[in-house]
Structure 1
């Protein structure tokens, strides 16, 4: 006969898994909030002073910081296209896709709202519907007037580059500890190329936040900045599966358990060092 302690164990396991999932979603919310606040905030509040180069680094540095802050918790996707790419490459559990994307979109919308609230404090005020709030666009909404076709191709190609970098830099055979640096730098490069064309999206959540407040053209053109990044993400996953074909497939869950075990070992070693420290 099973004891009451044995009967309670499965419930405790389910509760622990639920708490772990929620931590991941909150981490994605926070990470996307920081990305949009840092990147879009730089474009809206300081764009005239720092230019394309400064805005590009603002996005790249925001992502670089978040990789090391929330990466151990959620993997730091902060982008629905990255989440989809990891899923298609077999490196992410499908059951978390919806939670991640919802959290990312909510974080981006809140960040855009904060940027708008700050921008309105300037003498004379700020109107998102007129100034755009750093929204993405093509045609009349493109910084240099690029067409919809050019914008679509740019977003597909640049998202492909971003997601392929994420997949390759986090591969088991990649140098350990350098993924954040590679991903942050490639996002900087992507913005240097894409800002004149579309203001650079490569991230449906990043596009959604400003578009909701800007409305009008930004909202009407939002479809391109959802479809193109997801298409680029799918292409990156296909190329990754071809180039990095593993000898034996490892599921995302197995990889996560391995990472957790390694972290637990490092924590135990750190506690041991402090216990024996003379300080």
Structure 2
């Protein structure tokens, strides 16, 4: 009986071989061609409805992101104790969960950036034109301002007394601590975006089902767990700008530069690391 089972295993292995090579053999360019870099200026986009539709999608996604995340932060701050509310873990889940949902909804329309730092990193990697990158950033910032404005419009008194969800360096930490947290946190996010949306990886690992918004949402969740105690976690200049403008007090503006400089540096480092080290694009073009 044992010999019969062994023969069945061998027969099955002969008929049903691996569809995809494993290990380093899997890292081939078969059935994959590197797409050309996006042009720096693409004037034709300005005459395309899909261009403006994508911008509107970024606007709405960022608006909804700010609305849910700020209300969650305010609910935690308002509670008598962290244990009486969802706490830091709940805030992190709100940010990460909303990014997961919104990237899933808008990825097919705009790419689901919802963050100027993500847009900046993808622009440096020549994944989109300067025209589209600037348009996305403007729409993201406008969406963030409107999202924070809706929260304040509904709950003005509470919004102002609970600091409106603004980002600032928390007591006990230096500005250098805050800048470092924003750089590393954004690096984690943008590196995850590059990896989750890598077309070559999708072609090579097509037998492994993966939902790109899921790792991106988890990256946002984990970064928030780590850096909420330091800066409240920005890693998104639009989110920081929207709350600073609507709250409009010194607390929101004193450290505001950190939440632009940090994310943009982190995004640039992630783009360089992914393109040069992970994908080795410059070396392939020379060959």
TM-score (norm 1): 0.77
Q: Deviations over 1:96-153 (max 9, x none)?
A: 1111001000000011111222333xxxx3252x431111111xxx1x5311010000
1:228 matched to 2:262? The reply is yes
Q: Is the Cα–Cα contact under 8 Å of residues 136 and 198 in structure 1 kept in the other structure?
A: yes
Matching of residues 132-151 of structure 1 within 5 Å: 132-138=163-169, 142=170, 144-151=171-178
Closer, same or farther: CA 205–15 of 1 in aligned 2, 3 Å: closer
Shift of 1:94: 1.9
Which residue of the other structure, out of 190, 197, 212, is the alignment partner of 1:170?
A: 197
Report the equivalent of 1:86: 122
Shift of 1:197: 0.3
Q: Give the whole-Å Cα distance in 2 for the aligned partners of 1:103 and 1:159.
A: 20
Q: Is the Cα–Cα contact under 8 Å of residues 27 and 73 in structure 1 kept in the other structure?
A: yes
The structure whose Rg is larger is 2
Q: Give the whole-Å Cα distance in 2 for the aligned partners of 1:241 and 1:102.
A: 26
1:65 matched to 2:97? The reply is no
Which residue of the other structure, out of 59, 81, 92, is the alignment partner of 1:29?
A: 59
Q: Is the Cα–Cα contact under 8 Å of residues 132 and 210 in structure 1 kept in the other structure?
A: no
Which residue of the other structure, out of 185, 190, 193, is the alignment partner of 1:158?
A: 185
**Which runs of 5 or more residues in structure 2 are unaligned?**
1-43, 80-84
Q: Is the Cα–Cα contact under 8 Å of residues 109 and 209 in structure 1 kept in the other structure?
A: yes
Report the equivalent of 2:82: none
Q: Deviations over 1:131-180 (max 9, x none)?
A: 31111111xxx1x5311010000000000000000011100114554210
Closer, same or farther: CA 133–244 of 1 in aligned 2, 3 Å: same
Shift of 1:15: 8.7
Report the equivalent of 1:103: 139
Which residue of the other structure, out of 86, 89, 93, is the alignment partner of 1:50?
A: 86
Partner-residue secondary structure (3-state), 1:75: coil
Q: Give the whole-Å Cα distance in 2 for the aligned partners of 1:241 and 1:182.
A: 19
Bigger mean CA deviation after superposition, 63-72 or 172-181: 172-181
Q: Is the Cα–Cα contact under 8 Å of residues 79 and 203 in structure 1 kept in the other structure?
A: yes
Q: Give the whole-Å Cα distance in 1 for the aligned partners of 2:173 and 2:143.
A: 29
Q: Give the whole-Å Cα distance in 1 for the aligned partners of 2:120 and 2:159.
A: 34
Report the equivalent of 1:188: 221
Q: Is the Cα–Cα contact under 8 Å of residues 74 and 159 in structure 2 kept in the other structure?
A: no
Q: RMSD between aligned alpha carbons?
A: 2.0
Q: Is the Cα–Cα contact under 8 Å of residues 40 and 112 in structure 1 kept in the other structure?
A: yes
Q: Deviations over 1:171-207 (max 9, x none)?
A: 0114554210000011000100010000000000000
Q: Give the whole-Å Cα distance in 1 for the aligned partners of 2:120 and 2:129.
A: 10
**Which runs of 5 or more residues in structure 1 are unaligned?**
1-13, 250-279
